[in-house]
Chain A
Amino acid sequence: MDLKTLIPQKLKEKFPTVDFEVSDYRDELTIKFDKKYIVEVCKFLKSDSELEFSLCSDITAIDWATRKNRFTVVYNIFSMKHNFRLRLKADVDEGDCKIDSVSSVWRAANWQERETYDMYGIKFNNHPDLRRMYMPEEFEYHPLRKDFPLMGIPGSLPLPKK
């Protein structure tokens, strides 16, 4: 069976109570669902013998600025077995800016979640080491948020004395 029909079908069988929003745009399959199921779904996609999404190629986020659910966390995963790419999405609101970490599923997610935390300020629950990735640890802002000015906040990054 075609993976594009198999994956949503298997997910619906395994998680009957979860609402999966499946879209297929430009030959790329995207599945969106509630953030509280992210770890279970990822675990299933990785461990299922017919799917085997063994590689987590990227985790990032989108800042929609004015939307009600301000952020969307995006997971790009890859099945080596089928040479198939899948995108998972989960909405996160600014008021409750947290999502469960999938670093227990893929170890590669550790640094990718740190980067997402650094750039967007989304906290990952149960992450083993949630420190900033690029910016100095004492930095207080999250540069890829839409309300962060392009040239930064003056004085927020210290320079050596001349």
Chain B
Amino acid sequence: MGLEAYLKDNGFFTTKIDAIIAWARKSSVWPMPMGISCCAIEMMAVGDPKYDIARFGSEVMRFTPRQCDLMIVAGTVTYKMAPVVRKIYDQMPEPKWVIAMGACTSSGGMYRSYSVVQGIDQFLPVDVYLAGCPPRPDNLLHALMKIQDKIGKTKASEFPNIPLNKIDINLPELNVIQKN
């Protein structure tokens, strides 16, 4: 199933550096659990033995963005919360990916209202949109597998090598209100 299948006869194999790095990356995606509302309950269920996100190497939910490479935005993002989500995203080291989990996160969902951002892609680059209100845990695993497919196709040279302390955190000044 894994590398050992290749190793049993000769003890070594040859590969491309891009392939081995992409394989390592996609097999240990560390999620940042950005649990904002009810979707977070389903996200927790993904961690339990029944669904077991550990099968995909993603059981290490890090509660500091500096150790994560996948942000699972699970819940309704309000305008007041948006700068916080963005700030946490900006603190994650490259390369990084985002799952917009659930209807609210992807499009505002049932909250068609002045207070809710109608889709987090207005301020974040989203890789996978996940339907459901909330999505079932196996659905989130499917999204994770999509992310893994995407990571598997990447090349190491695609990603800029930016030291953590050089990351530019762009936040709007809250006292500036633009009028149309």
Contacts and interface: CB of A to CB of B under 8 A. Distances in A.
Contact of A136 (B80, B86, B124, B180): B80
B175 A162 contact: no
Interface stretch (A77-85, A94-102, A142-150): A142-150
Nearest to B170: A161
Contact of B123 (A135, A136, A140, A159): A159
B123 A161 contact: yes
A160 B83 contact: yes
Q: In the complex, which of the residues A154, A156, A157 has the most CB atoms of chain B within 10 Å of its own CB atom?
A: A157
A162 B178 contact: no
Interface residues of B, number: 26
B114 A143 contact: yes
A160 B172 contact: yes
Interface residues of A, number: 23
Q: In the complex, which of the residues A140, A148, A149, A151 has the most CB atoms of chain B within 10 Å of its own CB atom?
A: A151
A158 B171 CA distance: 10
Contact of A151 (B114, B125, B176): B114
B112 A150 contact: yes
A159 B82 contact: yes
A157 B174 CA distance: 9
B56 interface: no
Contacts of A152: 113-115
Given A150-B114, A158-B173, 5 more contacts: A151-B113, A152-B114, A158-B174, A160-B172, A162-B122
